Chains A and B, each alone.
Chain A
């Protein structure tokens, strides 16, 4: 089964595509059949990161039914074992993708046979970004050691978890739940997963237990990118501890990745950073990050969607119209 890793981070420029690209190249070179999917609709440029200038096919061809299967949109790269589904050429329609279309992509992705599938997600907390975290139990959040980036990563994490809870409950139940929670919180914003969970548990203990177990299964990771010498090296660990303590969400810190101006050079030259500057601190940090992901898969961590989850997704997609369900959720995280 393919190991699926959504990579997101809320803020633009935090290095999502850089990490996704380099992780993909490294995994492929280690002999793993790896697929990169550029899911940064509207601002796709993962192809540039791995040195592909022309994309004959893209994800939108699948959505627009120009091709029958998702597999037909896969592009071979110059690196053996590395494949790409480009996000370029996606028009505005794809930016505002309907829920049903996303489900179509999810189902198609889980049917592909790769060792690793990496999803490069866009900035922001739009439903497009959030929903792509629903496809897997694993996920990588990227932040830089700046308040703006940390703010966005907190926002994204909350939104993803709230969306996960919602995914597990039927819409009408969720609505009553939200109303009930709002009443109890005296009008406070219901964007706190732990609080939401405590209300579910009170209202319907059985359902609460299922949701709680499902949430505990998520193995989210945090990476601090563009780490400079003067930054606090403990920051990532502290952030994860704070999230666990106050939001009740388990997040694992992978490590800091050193800032280096050479990253800019590598991106400009459109060459893989690890190949061009292998003896830098940044390269060493990157390799540590890559190894972490490789080890997570070999440990047999459940990072695919699993049949059960897929059924739930299908069920959700079946009885809720895309736009309507998005509306329902938007009330719950007024971000």
Chain B
């Protein structure tokens, strides 16, 4: 057999570097079928040992790629080795935004800081951010101006799209407790690569008032 170690986790699962978590799950499920003991597709091609080795490597690939942090680190490694192009990663496919919740990772911090000026230099964004108070409508304008869809935020932050819509539509009756709302807003704003504190505070002002 071709040495398995030569294949990247993406190649093992037949995925592109920009694959979404959903695609990774699908690919893993499909691969488990292909390499199962009674699979006809690989009949006679592998010894039982080889097949088990492949399965072990498949699971290794899956658990790495499905985990945000592990995948980020793995991608960085591939880029350093020249096995993957900078910019082809999943995160860069999504408007070059680094994943949210990368606490303590200096790499990510510097990357997101590098993105910030772009967003703030946008005149529309500048204008909105200069306001004393921010409404749900303002958040929506910021988001659309930066070319981000609600679904993207929902997928990344795990906040359901309905809730995000309530926030943007100022439907205060439907919003959760202050504590939860604040954390939702923070995740939302972080995804847009804006300064979370100032934006969240200005939205919350109106609820207090």
Contacts and interface: CB of A to CB of B under 8 A. Distances in A.
Interface of A: 145-147, 150-151, 154-155, 192, 194-195, 198, 232, 235, 238-239, 241-242, 245-248
A151 B2 contact: no
A239 B41 contact: yes
A285 B47 CA distance: 34
Contact of B2 (A232, A238, A239, A247): A247
Contacts of A245: 2, 7, 11-12, 14
B179 interface: no
A14 to B, nearest CB: 15
Given A235-B41, A238-B41, A245-B2, 8 more contacts: A147-B43, A150-B43, A150-B44, A194-B2, A195-B2, A232-B40, A242-B42, A246-B2
A143 B95 CA distance: 46
Main secondary structure of the interface of B (DSSP, over half): loop
Given A192-B2, A195-B1, A246-B2, A235 B40 contact: yes
Contacts of B44: 147, 150-151, 154-155
B43 A151 contact: yes
Interface of B: 1-3, 7, 11-12, 14, 34, 40-46
Contacts of B43: 147, 150-151, 154
Which 5 pairs, one residue from A and one from B, show the smallest C-beta to C-beta distance? A151-B44, A147-B43, A194-B2, A238-B41, A150-B43
A198 B3 CA distance: 10
A219 to B, nearest CB: 20
B45 A242 contact: yes
Nearest to B42: A242
Contacts of A154: 43-45
Contacts of A146: 40
Contacts of A151: 43-44
B1 A246 contact: yes
B194 to A, nearest CB: 43
A199 to B, nearest CB: 12
A165 to B, nearest CB: 15
Given A242-B34, A246-B45, A145 B40 contact: yes
Nearest to B46: A246
A198 B6 CA distance: 12
Nearest to B7: A245
Contacts of A247: 1-2
Contacts of B3: 198
B170 to A, nearest CB: 49
A151 B39 CA distance: 12
A248 B41 contact: no
A20 to B, nearest CB: 25
Contact of B34 (A150, A192, A238): A238
A192 B1 contact: yes
Nearest to B1: A246
A238 B11 CA distance: 14
Nearest to A236: B41
For B2, B3, B34, which residue has the most chain A Cβ atoms within 10 angstroms? B2
Contact of B40 (A150, A155, A198, A248): A150
A198 B12 CA distance: 19
A239 B43 CA distance: 10
Given A242-B34, A245-B11, A150 B2 contact: no
A47 B43 CA distance: 33
A248 B2 contact: yes
A195 B50 CA distance: 15
Contacts of B40: 145-147, 150, 232, 235
Contacts of A192: 1-2
